[in-house]
Structure 1
């Protein structure tokens, strides 16, 4: 299998809380709760490791609460190459209501030291030449300018491996300027980047093609319960996932991208690659945490995932609805 480097600049301890519909301003009872180290690159790395790859994790990590992260990395066989910085990595609260709505309460990150970017580049210099793919994912900590993200992408591109970006807001806008190999916005993040509403698949596809025309080969648009649109240089595909009970959507996008990168590096054809990645993402939303490739019914979920060409799709009304 492949050796993959993921970079997380703003890790977090995620406290996920399952709850009935929230009554604001009142006392609410909770169901299950779950806390674990997270951050998009860490989540991606965990899924890729479960899929059989060798995974190296890097980025910035608060030294004052690094313990839970270090235990997770050791337990799951993830190579820890994070740069420690003073302070705590943030704590996020994810409120998952029974109807599937998730409310995020994201905490404040550590302050990025002035030398953090140079220290990280020094750490990565010994890693980027020995990887089959690199993923930079997640938000930016305080003091890390969006332009520095573009610089980081360009630095990683020197190693020759494809560099994927999963970011939003100013980080996505700045990162796109560095022309990564692939990006994975959700439909809301894509609309924010485009600066206009994208109410249907056609509008989303048009915005995605703008990104391709700028020099980005792969654009993966996650659309929540409506599936995934993958624009790639070979052919564009639309996936519709099976209907499953939703507990939390927090790690679904990370699981999707991990599954797609796995398929690409494993030489799967595009149809199978997207089918497996979408099914794995559907498996993920049924519980807290990242997807389980070894779930008992994963093959059934794959069989129930429908992948068709886009725009030559048989899904009636999908192009304009």
Structure 2
């Protein structure tokens, strides 16, 4: 079972528009509302693939109630930590060429008591999990070391810990020894404090994160593919995508695919690529099912094109 923890979940409302004209009245050609937040999306992708998952979430107000109900409808077990604040709502505007404009709310502040209860709830459920995945930004309130405490809580009961966060929250957690971190290109560049112009630069940056405590690094490089550095070696992969419809949650689907395939090695990287590629071809933040995957579109190699220019990072 894979336990996900999303300290700052959301309702994600996506509107598809023909073109984004600033100051105009726009009419959506389609719209949908989905449970949101990086860990929420990971759980949704695991459930869509037929895997077992529990999402631990701090929820409050009517949006929190709706979010929990939407997750239950999608087959995700939810453990709710009730908070006084109201769960945030995010807006995405998707254009036909795949361009996405997002407006993310800050989210409610967690009191020290709520942050402590969220961590205690994770401790109470982690013993039943193979992986504990802490995902997303920290809301106002919790200390910057909160993710480091999450990693320690997972390790204390024998679970592996994966983190998909960024900035100080990521850096502060490295000393706790997360088994996996999953930055995108911009987050990886931020973590090492310099731009990444080539795949070789990304490899060196990922090596630095491992030197600082990360057991493995799975780096999403957008259209340039994904990079994995772990105990099995260094691997690079890409997936052919005919057309991008929405990239909301694609990185989260990728993490789910990686964990579902064991969380290590080239086979897990191939699964991550297949899930991420399938997700970008679906509307909003819809998570792919096994029928949506195209393993034949994925290539993984240990022969790294180190001079490959990166379009992100």
Q: Where on the TM-score scale, by shorter chain, does this alignment land: which range?
A: over 0.9
> Could you give the per-residue CA deviations for residues 159-199 of structure 1, whole angstroms, max 9, x where no partner exists?
11110000122222222232211000000111111111111
Instruction: Name the residue aligned to 1:131.
Output: 129
Instruction: Name the residue aligned to 1:308.
Output: 301
Query: SS of the residue aligned with 1:46?
Result: helix
Structure 1 residues 194 and 52, CA, compared in 2 at 3 Å: closer, same or farther? Answer: same
The answer to whether residue 290 in structure 2 is matched with residue 291 in structure 1 is no
Judge conservation of contact 1:91–1:106 (CA < 8 Å) in 2: yes
Mean alpha-carbon deviation: is it higher for 130-139 or for 146-155? 146-155
> Could you give the per-residue CA deviations for residues 188-230 of structure 1, whole angstroms, max 9, x where no partner exists?
1111111111111111110000011122121011011111111
> Could you give the per-residue CA deviations for residues 131-167 of structure 1, whole angstroms, max 9, x where no partner exists?
1111000111121232223223222321111100001
Judge conservation of contact 1:91–1:108 (CA < 8 Å) in 2: no
CA distance in 2, matches of 1:276, 1:195: 30
Q: How does 1:123-202 map to 2 (within 5 A)?
A: 123-202=121-200
1:293 deviation in Å? Answer: 2.6
CA distance in 2, matches of 1:317, 1:55: 39
Query: SS of the residue aligned with 1:127?
Result: helix
The answer to whether residue 267 in structure 2 is matched with residue 277 in structure 1 is no
For the aligned residues, what is the CA RMSD? Answer: 2.0
CA distance in 1, matches of 2:58, 2:122: 12
Query: SS of the residue aligned with 1:126?
Result: helix
Judge conservation of contact 1:255–1:291 (CA < 8 Å) in 2: yes
Structure 1 residues 270 and 147, CA, compared in 2 at 3 Å: closer, same or farther? Answer: closer
Judge conservation of contact 1:9–1:61 (CA < 8 Å) in 2: no
Query: SS of the residue aligned with 2:5?
Result: strand
Structure 1 residues 93 and 272, CA, compared in 2 at 3 Å: closer, same or farther? Answer: same
TM-score with structure 1 setting the length? 0.90
Unaligned runs of 5+ in 1: none
Q: How does 1:213-228 map to 2 (within 5 A)?
A: 213-228=211-226
Query: SS of the residue aligned with 1:136?
Result: strand
1:316 deviation in Å? Answer: 9.0
Q: How does 1:234-249 map to 2 (within 5 A)?
A: 234-249=232-247
Query: SS of the residue aligned with 1:193?
Result: helix
TM-score with structure 2 setting the length? 0.92
